[in-house]
């Protein structure tokens, strides 16, 4: 792929297509370990699928644009519209490859891969492990092929996996206390949010110096949430497991749960597997606890005591998982907050770090209110930071490398 081409990065959800465009020349000229990731030429999102599609379009050096889209109702029509818009805009270079976020790569996929029909079939087999995300990720790949039309054979599509970053974890942290025959059938901890953790790990040395090589815990706090412990900037232990249900309380997922609750729901409450799955993925977490919303901003602004309880449970579980990860690492030198809540909510950061005072963590109130990047006091035994993640730039670089390796 030549420097005058671009890479389109896609993150397809159930009702949205998030996208970013990167120039190949800019990727080649950038340093992945620099404090700031390579800048996208364009970022945007098509949301409101299927009934009321709208575009948020944000060129790097221009005013953001918002507009309603007619005739766009699914991933295929959304990507057809997007490719057409890019093709007819002199501002952007021709798309030479498409990189997709794919949540689950299973045991087989430990690095980005150029997608063909056999790869797509293998990824379909992982749908039961990530039913909230995987079907839409794969729909985006198919829609990309359809939208590219006659160019589909020349414009490669690359799957980049959230699970891949965690393949460095030892068996101690990936094995359930079940018969080993279950592990042989793929029942094990995989971990997620790996593209986010890779973004932080690659840039951390430039941001934090030598301490980055020590015992670092990254808290990715968003609608989906998890914690990852790094040693020498490699994944050593993470809070999520075989699926994206485990670990921290999330927007609509419960996090760690007594498996007996699921058995009780199936046997005594006579819930179907489908009903239980919907409950765990869509009706639990902050939404289920509060009965109000899965949005931390809404809950922080509410006077309803259920909102306060939901946030207390969220922060308590996060602190517990951070402490558990410190046990796995043999201590903690640095705590990094990232993702939507972690980067933008001083109140949540304060509530979590306050619970970690026994480990010597202490926030500077002014720095925390300002958003950092350094949040801790000079006396804190743990350096606390807020660092924006950038999964899209990781996907863009990985896509370029995968395409060139396959050429």
Written as six digits, the tokens of 339 are 């993702």
DSSP, collapsed to helix, strand or coil, labels residue 131 as: coil
Which tokens is 3 given?
A: 């420097």
Residue pair 309/295 in contact (Cβ under 8 Å)? The answer is no
**Cα distance between residue 378 and residue 153, in whole Å:** 56
CA distance 73 to 18: 15
Give the C-alpha separation, 366 to 283, whole Å.
36
List Cα–Cα distances, 332 to 174, 322, 326, 348, in angstroms: 20, 9, 5, 20
* Burial zone of 118 (CB within 10 Å; 0-12 exposed, 13-18 middle, 19+ buried): exposed
- Cα separation of 197 and 122, whole Å? 25
Please name which of 197, 209, 169, 203 lies closest in space to residue 383, comparing C-alpha atoms.
Answer: 209
- Assess contact for 230 and 330: CB atoms under 8 A: no
What is the end-to-end Cα distance of the chain in Å, rounded? 9
DSSP 8-class letter at 37: P
Return the DSSP state at 20: E
In whole angstroms, give the CA distance from residue 224 to residue 248: 9
Sign of CA dihedral 217, 127, 108, 396: negative
162 catalytic? Reply is: yes
- What element of type H or E holds 159? strand 156-161
Catalytic-labelled residue, pool 116, 162, 246, 258: 162
Query: For 225, phi and psi rounded to 5 degrees?
Result: -145, 145
Rg (CA), the chain: 21
**Spatial separation of the C-alpha atoms in residues 46 and 269, rounded to whole Å:** 39
- Which residues have a catalytic role annotated? 162
């Amino acid at each position: 792929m030549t420097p005058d081409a671009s890479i389109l990065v896609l993150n397809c959800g159930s009702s949205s297509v998030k996208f970013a465009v990167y120039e190949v020349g800019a990727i080649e000229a950038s340093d992945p370990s620099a404090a700031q990731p390579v800048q996208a030429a364009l970022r945007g999102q098509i949301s409101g699928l299927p009934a009321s599609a709208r575009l948020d379009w944000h060129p790097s050096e221009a005013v953001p644009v918002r507009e309603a889209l007619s005739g766009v109702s699914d991933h295929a029509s959304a990507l057809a519209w997007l490719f057409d818009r890019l093709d007819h805009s002199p501002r952007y270079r021709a798309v030479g490859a498409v990189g997709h976020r794919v949540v689950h790569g299973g045991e087989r996929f430990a690095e980005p891969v150029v997608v063909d029909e056999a790869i797509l079939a293998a990824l379909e087999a992982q749908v039961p492990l990530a039913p909230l995300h995987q079907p839409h990720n794969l729909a985006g790949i198919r829609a990309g092929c359809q939208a590219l039309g006659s160019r589909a054979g020349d414009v490669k599509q690359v799957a980049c996996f959230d699970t891949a970053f965690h393949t460095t974890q030892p068996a101690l942290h990936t094995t359930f206390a079940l018969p080993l025959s279950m592990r042989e059938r793929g029942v094990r901890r995989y971990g997620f949010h790996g593209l986010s953790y890779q973004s932080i790990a690659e840039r951390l040395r430039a941001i934090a110096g030598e301490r980055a090589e020590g015992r670092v815990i990254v808290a990715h706090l968003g609608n989906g949430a998890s914690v990852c412990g790094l040693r020498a900037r490699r994944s050593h232990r993470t809070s999520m497991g075989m699926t994206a249900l485990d670990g921290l309380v999330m927007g609509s997922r419960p996090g760690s749960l007594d498996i007996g609750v699921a058995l009780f729901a199936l046997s005594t409450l006579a819930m179907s597997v489908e009903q239980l799955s919907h409950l765990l993925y869509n009706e639990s977490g902050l939404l289920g606890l509060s009965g109000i919303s899965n949005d931390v901003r809404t809950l922080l602004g509410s006077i309803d005591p259920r909102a306060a309880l939901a946030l207390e449970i969220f922060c308590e579980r996060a602190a517990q998982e951070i402490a558990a990860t410190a046990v796995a690492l043999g201590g903690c030198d640095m705590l990094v907050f990232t993702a939507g809540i972690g980067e933008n909510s001083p109140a949540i950061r304060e509530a979590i770090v306050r619970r970690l005072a026994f480990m010597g963590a202490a926030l500077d109130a002014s720095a925390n209110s300002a958003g950092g990047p350094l949040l801790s006091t000079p006396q804190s035994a743990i350096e606390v930071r807020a660092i924006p993640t950038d999964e899209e730039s990781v996907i863009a670089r990985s896509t370029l490398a995968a395409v060139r390796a396959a050429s």
